[in-house]
Structure 1
Amino acid sequence: MSGRGILNGLVLTANRVVVGFSLWGVAAGGWSWAAETQAYVTNLKPTGQADLDAALKSSSDLLGLQGTHAVGPFALAGRVRNEYDRLKSALESYGYYEGTVKITLHRAKDKDAVVMDGQSPALSNWIESVPANEKVTADISVEKGPLYHLGSVKLVDEKTNGPAELTPEQKAAFTLKTGDAAEAETVLGAGGTLLDALREDGHALAQVEKPQAYLRPQTRTLDVVYPVSPGPVLNVGRIDVSGLKRVREPFVRRQLTLKEGQLYQPSKIDAARQDLTSLGVFSNVAVKDGATQPVNGTMPLDFTFQEAKRRSVGAEAGYSTDLGVRGGVTWTHYNLLGNAERLKLTALVTGLGGSAQQGLGYDVYADFFKPGFYSRKQNLSVRVEALRQLFWSYRQTAFLVRAGITRQIDRYWNVNFGVAGEQEQIEQFGVTRDYTIGSLPLGATFDNTEVGNPIEPATHGVRANVNISPSISLGSKGSGTSFFTIMNASASYYFDLKHLGISKPGRSILAIRGTIGSIQGAGTYDIPPDQRMYAGGSATVRGYRWQGVGPQYGRTRYAIGGTSLDAGTVEYRQRLFKSFGMAGFVDAGQVGSSSSPFTGTLRVGAGGGVRYYTPIGPVRVDVAVPLNRPHRGDKWDLYIGLGETF
């Protein structure tokens, strides 16, 4: 006898609905109109096993369909009779092959009325006799019976009918063994795991068929035989591409991480597909085997591409009480020259209503990004920018040009290097100076949070970066030439409280951030004001306006800036329901006039906020207060933006 629950999982039986009606029927107390359609309610008694109860509920047509379209008496009787097989199949899928199902029906308004057995031949007539204004109650009770376990478990070669020849690693991937509970999910899952292991070892045409199961009631065991056909070990053969229109095929082939002749491995094939998808020029990338039989010891592959729209227009907006409103528009071309080059043009208005601002400013820039710059793992980025910022600490009008190369070292590490130039005019404390600044920024980043979208909140892992920027400043009007090096580093750590067993995955997150910086080679007043270090605001210490932490000019709101910085944050993030969340945080930091960090006056802020989670990321609203507010500092600050602060 084969185990139906093991072979097919939950058996779903299609019911044939018989539509009919009767003008009247016999009810208690005399003649009364019978129901053309019969309403009913279902009570399913729990078995005490949560996963089995969930399977029984999902398998029950009586329970699942009771609130849907109306059903006639004869159709309801058929639904009741089919219910036995559905629930028995659910029991068998969990290893209970001697379980029993009992269904009884009675009129809801009269608990002392006749109780009908769900298998009674008179069930249809009884349902037909129920008056039109009354519901029928169906009570279902399930007895599990003894749990069956696996007896013998065999892997048989389909061609020889003998034992399948597998490596020790492949045998280990097949986790099924004698004595396991005879559950469908366990048995079927073992076959899928074995198939994955075979294909990952190059058996591109491997097949693991559905198991043959034999029920042994005497020993309450289930014997399982898995037919296996490993097939030959193959390498990747010819790679064909189709669907390309504006994206150039040579570029796609250069970016492809998969090469002809390497071992056929589904994990690396899918990684190559995902890598091409990340270029941002395809709405879909699909890959499939190019043949049903080996071709000279290889398996050809077919990559099919669907190109995305080349242009988009977007908006950017944010608000904080210190920096005010920042908003504008962006235009992006995603495939400028046919090699996935991205050109983004942005125009923003800044500084509207901010406590750290003296008036409106602007930020206009063009970003050019070229992937695969002389190497598949190397990208070129160029920015040309014009900006005007009217902070209380200084007023700046500047033109900047930056170019840099980012190179991927491994899965988590990237390094970057480049060159930057800036021509600016700065007014500070009533004195206006012009500066020409050149720098050679170098940096490295580490990120194992496995978050592809930068707006999506991280729930685990570490993000860290280190940057060193040797610079030269050519000043005018009393300010000479100065050489200095800006060094800074930051790290963020995300811990999911699921590891403590007190939360579901991704719902409760502890986020910690640390930042440290130093400027070497020059004193504070020898460094252009915009190159100095400042703190305050969402990037360092919330509750204090931007440039509100650090040396101030007397008892005014004018910040001098410093040559060292250190700051830290501890933040707790809690998701609520499906789309909402909340956060609480404490920030602390200081800016010093010495090049050594951990000097200056430590400022501490605390606050909390709410989150609304959208498909593109959370909308964040935070309020923070300073715990040791300086003279003329803000009493509180509000921050609104898209995505978490870090």
Structure 2
Amino acid sequence: MKKTTQSRAANLSFRTIANRVLIAALLTSVALPSLPDRAHAQSYSFGSVQVQGNARIETGTILSYAGIARGQTLSAAELNDAYQRLVASGLFETVEITPRGGTLVINVTEYPTVNRVRFEGNRRLKDDALESIVQSKPRLVFSPSKAEADAAKIAEAYAQQGRLAARVTPKIIRRSDNRVDLVYEIIEGKNSEVNRIGFVGNTVYSDRRLRRVLQTKQAGLLRQLIQRDTFVEDRLQFDQQVLRDFYLSRGYIDFRTTAVDAELARERDAYFVTFNVQEGQQFRFGEVTVVSDYPAADAELYETVLKLRPGVVYSPSHVENAIARMETLAVREGLDFLRVEPRITRNDRDLTLDVEFVLTRGPRIFVERIDVEGNTTTLDQVIRRQFKIVEGDPFNPRQIREAAERIRALNFFENAEVNAREGSSPDRVVVDVDVAEKPTGSLSFGGTYSTNSGFGLAISFTETNFLGRGQSLNLTLSGAESNQNYSLSFIEPAFLGRDVAFNFDAGYVETSTYNAEYDTSATNFGMGLTFPVGERARLGLRFGLEASAMRDPTGGGSPAVGSIINSEIAQANVYAGVVGYNYTFDTRDAGFDPTKGVLLEFAQDFAVGGDVQFVRTRARAVAETRILNEEVTLRAIVKGGMLNYSKGSSRTIDRLALLGDDLRGFEAGGVGPRHIDGTANNTLYGNMYMVGSLEAEFPLGLPEEYGVSGGAFYDISNIWDVGASANSVGTGTLLYNNGSARHVVGLSVFWDTPIGPLRFNFAKALKKEQNDREQFFNVSIRSEF
């Protein structure tokens, strides 16, 4: 905090200045004793006018403000008007007008010049931020009214950060040569937190569920790190719209927020916010039809792309998606200016909404140009490619709205506004894009910990808008007690200007007896293309090179390794050229805060060159839904993999492994085919595996601001087949090569923290094998600092 203790005695408050002005006015009234009580009937004429006390301001300027000329006949009222004009000019600290016979003397004291502007007591807002707010600047004439206005602006800036108790007092410190230092003394006060958020009128969804929707949060244990519990009035306005979107997406078309009451505590450090709502009834789709008022558009053809069915809960997003599909079909059919107008008929008896899509010919309006402003780093082309239209294309308002959402979704900008206005003629439209950029790069130094790999350090550089081209670059260097990981990735989201993402990846991983009695190293290099093949489906193609090796840490022939591992170590480095593809179908992001969704993934890699040839297949299916008014989330997961060699054979480092979330209750590598040979007892993983999981997440009854919820799970998993390595058993014993299903049940505690979501698993194996390595408790933590 800055100190001005020694100079505070010289401070002159604005109350003192006001008093001086008042005294000057009184002196003026005394200095005009010759004016009779009926001053309006008296007139005066001065042969000369003298101005005294001015240093910066020219005498002519002062006379111009006063409006007095030599020889001019003036009434007492006109003299008072001249005095008021000089005071109102804001140039003078004091003004005195004194008649002396035939001479009028104007004595002024000029306001000082601001020497410098300082801030005291500010911690939350830095000097640079405050300097951009205030209008008072060094080398300008000091103005009390402007300083008071600046103080109000500073207090408002603190209020936007939830510090409603902030107080700002402007003071001046006199310097030589009629200069002053302007000091804003700031008492920031405490954050005005939101202690409680309540709802009145809700019956379908609980307060707990609705609070999860809002951006504003209740103050919790981590209030010093989570700033969304700070009261911000603008955020409450946004929350009202979010609530409406939430209910509309679930068919409650009559929902409205009747009032939002924000009650400030007596200490002015906390708010109690109450949303008064009316939910209404839930509506579903009734009859869905398409009619055409456009002769060239066949209604039956456009009905084929509709995916709306009667009985489905109504959602505006479903209607928008249907319109988008029909307009896309119109473009393919070569029909410009086709517009789809939804006409909705309400049926209160059966709580349905009939939707009739009317195909019409819209006005012939074209896009004249797209103007982009505010981007200093991001290239225009990055913003322009979010539009599916270019200059000269037919204007479509819905496409402009969708482009605006895509621009905001880039997460490159603090603010992005997209508006359309009339161009050079009524049939031309100019689209204005105004953005305000924000930092998109980060350099982080972090610590890692897991129950499998122990403590470690990590350095990561991430840039999501590399060189302003919208490209992503990530470089990570991390190391723990038993492994090191180095990776580089690069993504170009619009390769060759198309909706095709190009990616490049390179990595090196080295382990030192990490859950095994041998060392490993693996290097990968790859590149690929990903593009859409459907409304919610994407296909990726890739090519890469892989090299891996297993080593004996003792230098050769360790009895703790065993004959199978020794035979795999003897293969030294294995190289493979790999091509592959992956298909993804995902409906989980459909609509606002979706209640259900499905994810399907299927991927295959083919080793077509190098020391080995194989086909590696992975598949995963996830289905999720919410029940009990969306308080409980149910999730089912099925996944599996297969590795089939046609040349060479798989090694332990190549085979498929069960990851931490695949089978809780066991250590990494704690299950699967195992080779016991003397003192050696090593997990060999497998060429095939299957996993099935059922999960539930539910509230624990704790205040949701704590970010703590509970879960339960049931896992079943099997991994088997070590391929040709089974021929190298030697004198040892190969266990579970034909598979053995393990069953696990457990409970979870979820905790949302600023460093990421943490999951604490407590698991119990219902079915296991004698040599499995269990793990009752598991947690993974990664902290950035």
TM over 0.5: yes
Between the aligned residues of both structures, percent identity stands at 20
Correspondence for 1:417:
541
After superposition, the C-alpha distances for 1:421-449 in whole angstroms (9 at most, x for unaligned) are: 12332126363322222211211111111
* 1:304–1:533 CA distance, 2 compared to 1 (3 A): same
2:715 — aligned with what? Answer: 587
TM-score under structure 1 length normalisation? 0.58
In structure 2, distance between residues paired with 1:302 and 1:605: 57
Select the structure that is richer in helix: 2
Match of 2:674 among 542, 552, 560: 552
State how 1:72-471 maps to structure 2 within 5 Å: 172-173=343-344, 175=346, 234-260=365-391, 264-291=395-422, 295-314=425-444, 319-325=449-455, 327-350=457-480, 352=481, 360-389=482-511, 390-393=513-516, 394-427=518-551, 429=561, 431=566, 432=569, 433-450=572-589, 460-471=596-607
What is the distance in 2 between the residues matched to 1:558 and 1:337?
48
Deviation at 1:169, TM superposition (A): 8.0
CA distance in 1 between counterparts of 2:263 and 2:770 reads 68
User: CA shift at 1:388, angstroms?
Assistant: 0.8
1:486: which partner in 2?
616
- Give me the whole-angstrom Cα distance separating, in 1, the residues matched to 2:668 and 2:602: 22
Measured in 1, the distance between the counterparts of 2:449 and 2:596 equals 28
Residues 585 and 316 of structure 1, relative CA distance in 2, 3 Å threshold? farther
Shift of the alpha carbon at 1:512? 0.8
Contact kept in structure 1, 2:595 and 2:626, CA below 8 Å: yes
**Conserved 8 A contact 2:378-2:468:** yes
Alpha-carbon contact 2:440-2:465 (below 8 Å) kept:
yes
- State how far apart, in whole Å, the 2-side matches of 1:426 and 1:48 are: 65
After superposition, give the CA deviation of every residue in 1:52-81 in whole Å (9 maximum; x if it has no partner).
xx99997799xx8797699xxxxxxxxxxx
2:406 maps to a residue whose letter is D
Relative to structure 1, the CA distance from residue 407 to residue 67 in structure 2 (aligned partners, 3 Å threshold; closer, same or farther) is: closer
- Three-state SS of the structure 1 residue aligned to 2:404 is helix
Does residue 1:628 correspond to 2:628, yes or no? Answer: no
Which amino acid is the alignment partner of residue 633 of structure 1?
Answer: D
SS at match of 1:553: strand
Q: Which residue of 2 aligns with 1:134?
A: none
- Contact 2:759/2:779 (<8 A) preserved: yes
Per-residue deviation, 1:265: 4.3
Task: Give the CA deviation at 1:239.
Answer: 1.6
Q: Distance in 1 between matches of 2:656 and 2:625?
A: 30
CA distance in 1, matches of 2:342, 2:688: 59
1:165-186 CA distances to partner (integer Å, 9 max, x unpaired)?
A: xx99858337599x999xxxxx
Aligned to 2:629: 504
Q: Does 1:542 align with 2:664?
A: yes
CA contact (8 A) 1:202 1:264 kept: no
Once residues 375 and 580 of structure 2 are traced to their aligned partners in structure 1, the CA distance between those partners, rounded to angstroms, is 37
Do structure 1's residue 600 and structure 2's residue 739 form an aligned pair?
yes
Shift in CA distance, 535/491, structure 1 to aligned 2, threshold 3 Å: same
Distance 1:174 1:238 in 2: 38
Could you tell me whether the CA contact under 8 Å between 2:506 and 2:525 is conserved in 1? yes
When residues 536 and 443 of structure 1 are mapped into structure 2, their CA distance, relative to the original with a 3 A threshold, is closer
CA shift digits 1:28-87 (9 cap, x unpaired): xxxxxxxxxxxxxxxxxxx99989xx99997799xx8797699xxxxxxxxxxxxxxxxx
Alpha-carbon distance in 2 for matches of 1:270, 1:302: 12
Structure 2 Cα separation of the partners of residues 471 and 418 of structure 1: 12
- Letter of the aligned partner of 1:331 in structure 2? F
- TM-score calculated relative to the size of structure 2: 0.48
Structure 2 residue runs without a partner (length 5+): 1-199, 208-254, 269-275, 281-337, 553-560, 724-736
Aligned length: 433
Q: CA deviation at 1:542?
A: 0.9
The aligned counterpart of 2:696 is 572
- Shift in CA distance, 332/57, structure 1 to aligned 2, threshold 3 Å: closer
Q: 1:574 corresponds to which letter in structure 2?
A: F
- SS state at 2:767 partner: coil
Instruction: Give deviations 1:205-245, integer Å, cap 9, x for gaps.
Output: xxxxxxxxxxxxxxxxxxxxxxxxxxx67454422111121
SS at match of 2:496: coil
Q: Distance in 2 between matches of 1:604 and 1:533?
A: 19
- Looking at structure 2, the residues matched to 254 and 57 of structure 1 have their Cα atoms a distance apart, in angstroms, of 37
Per-residue CA deviations over 1:486-540 (Å, capped at 9, x if unaligned) read 011111110111xxxxx233x31101111111112348x81243221122522x1
Question: Which whole-Å CA distance do the structure 2 matches of 1:377 and 1:56 have between them?
Answer: 39
Alignment pair present for 1:495 and 2:634: no
Provide the residue aligned with 2:653 in structure 1.
530
| Aligned counterparts of 1:482 and 1:69: Cα–Cα separation in 2 | 73
Three-state SS of the structure 2 residue aligned to 1:273 is helix
Conserved? CA contact 2:576–2:612, under 8 Å: no
Preserved CA contact (<8 Å) 2:606 2:615: yes
8 Å CA contact 1:392–1:557 kept in 2: the answer is no
Taking a change above 3 Å as real, the CA distance of residues 536 and 369 of structure 1, as seen in their structure-2 partners, is closer
Partner Cα separation in structure 2 for residue 602 and residue 631 of structure 1: 13
Distance 1:457 1:362, change over 3 A: farther
What is the alpha-carbon distance in structure 2 between the residues aligned to residue 59 and residue 387 of structure 1? 57
SS at match of 1:335: strand
Distance in 2 separating the partners of 1:490 and 1:303: 41
**Structure 1 portions without partners, runs of 5+:** 1-46, 71-89, 95-166, 182-189, 204-231, 353-359, 475-480, 498-502
